[in-house]
Amino acid sequence: MAPELLTVIVSTYERARELRLVLEGLARQREAPPFEVKVCDDGSGRSTAEAVEDFRVAHPEVDLEHCRHEDDGFRAAAARNLGLRVAKGDYVVFLDGDCIPFEDFLARHAALAAPGRFFVGERHFLDKDPCDALTPADVAAGRHEELPTREELRRVRKSARKIKLYSVTGIKKGRPKLITANAAAWRSDLEAVNGLDERYVGWGHEDDDLGRRLMRHGIRPGSAFDVARCAHLWHPPQASFAGRVRDCPNEPYFSRGFYLARCTRGLIPREWSDFASAIDPVRDPIASTLTSVLTERFSAPIPGVLGPESCGPEGLDLSFVVVGTPASGAPRPRFLDAAQVRILITVPPGAASTETDRDRHARAVDALARKADLLVTLAEPGVVDPLRDRVRLPDKVIRLVLDDRARSDDGRPSADAVARALEAIRDVV
């Protein structure tokens, strides 16, 4: 399936000279489908705007738009989302503002485009001296394509062979890892995962995260190594560059143990109304209050109350599930067969519960915890959570205490206390 229109996302920050070279490289693309260019500016000064305007005058045939937000630190993810929000192309190509494309760069990416796939290319890293001497006229003549050293060409070819081996053998199914310096994906797939996660601030991991969320959505990576090529201009490292990605400021967030395919702070902010939910059972005081808060305060769509009386379809994909204490003798809820549970909220049995109640609750939670990315326990003050010894927990567990004494006669916590707990959960995810 060939793209009808490409959108090229070029990210930049205070590198006007490099941006001029990159734009000149886009102007000389050959045999490419129609394309538009979005310069996604992370808050640069006047020199970047001048570079964009000069290029627009010199190349009126190129559909170019300058998308900028104010400078508030390294926010490359948010900057790229600026371009995605106004993109008109059905296929999106990511390119960094320090990477000059070869003349067949866009044509190669367009030829690779396939449903259910995203593609990642590599960069040829250039040495400092030839980069310093490079001019827009040199790029227009294609001289930047002659600058990669023999060793650098060999490195990229070797990487391409390694990626092919991974693909054939299935050794590393997540390769190649997505790098927004050279990558392409269908815009519909990017919108389905809500674009880049704008919680990534500072250098590192925002593109890794986009790749793993696309894969969770069912989109498989493909290699454009040594196919869709670009030349990476030498420059001093960015201020928040940590040398190794595992040392970057975003490492704790990236490695938090869970993530949603459709991030909460991306192209659009996700509200609770954007989450499919299931509550079981409605008779549990806390679960009952959660039901009313989700539906009345947050307009969250609950497909029935998925308990013994109203069972959902098997294989249901649920964003979050609330499990209270099952009633005595209640049958096994069918939604325990959910295909995937993103967030599992569990309400441990109260202090007056019986051992049978605790066992029944643990069995219900255990069936879902194996599939959950995040487990949240909403506990009452002084109640020991019995799950740790009974359930195989997911990597990430959050315990929230409903420290609220303004309860109704049936022991139900106030809606305000439950709403605060839900807001705390949303802040995390």
| Structural domain count of the chain | 2
Closest CA to 73 of 9, 13, 10: 13
Would you say 44 and 17 are in contact if contact means Cβ atoms under 8 Å apart? Answer: no
pLDDT level of residue 172 (50, 70, 90 thresholds): confident
Let me know whether 153 and 217 are in one domain.
Answer: yes
Report yes or no on 205 lying in a domain.
yes
> Quick check: 1 pLDDT over 90?
no
Report yes or no on 37 lying in a domain.
yes
Q: Give the CATH number for residue 353.
A: 3.40.50
Instruction: Please state, for a pLDDT cut of 90, what percent of the chain lies above it.
Output: 48
Strand pairing category for 91-96 and 182-186: antiparallel
Name the pTM for this structure. Answer: 0.76
Let me know whether 278 and 245 are in one domain.
Answer: no
Once rounded to an integer, what is the mean pLDDT over residues 217-221?
Answer: 90
Let me know whether 49 and 184 are in one domain.
Answer: yes
Report yes or no on 203 lying in a domain.
yes
Instruction: Give the domain range for residue 162.
Output: 6-254
Let me know whether 239 and 316 are in one domain.
Answer: no
pLDDT at 293: 80
Closest CA to 272 of 414, 78, 425: 425
> Quick check: 63 pLDDT over 90?
yes
pLDDT at 356: 74
Let me know whether 392 and 322 are in one domain.
Answer: yes
Per the prediction, the chain carries an average pLDDT of: 80
> Quick check: 314 pLDDT over 50?
no
Q: Which of 186, 220, 254 is the last residue of a domain?
A: 254
Report yes or no on 262 lying in a domain.
no
pLDDT at 275: 60
d(CA 233, CA 18): 7
pLDDT at 316: 40
Let me know whether 88 and 137 are in one domain.
Answer: yes
Per-residue burial over 329-349, b = 16 or more CB atoms within 10 Å of its CB, e = otherwise: ebeebbbbbbeebbbbbbbbb
CA dihedral 24, 25, 26, 30 (to 10 degrees): 120
d(CA 323, CA 345): 6
Q: Give the CATH number for residue 248.
A: 3.90.550.10
Report yes or no on 267 lying in a domain.
no
pLDDT at 327: 46
Q: Which of 210, 227, 254 is the last residue of a domain?
A: 254
Let me know whether 200 and 283 are in one domain.
Answer: no
What would the pLDDT profile of 359-416 be if each residue is shown by its tens digit?
767 776 766 666 566 667 766 565 555 555 544 544 455 666 665 544 555 556 677 8
Instruction: Please state, for a pLDDT cut of 70, what percent of the chain lies above it.
Output: 69
What would the pLDDT profile of 335-368 be if each residue is shown by its tens digit?
454 545 666 777 666 666 677 777 767 776 766 6
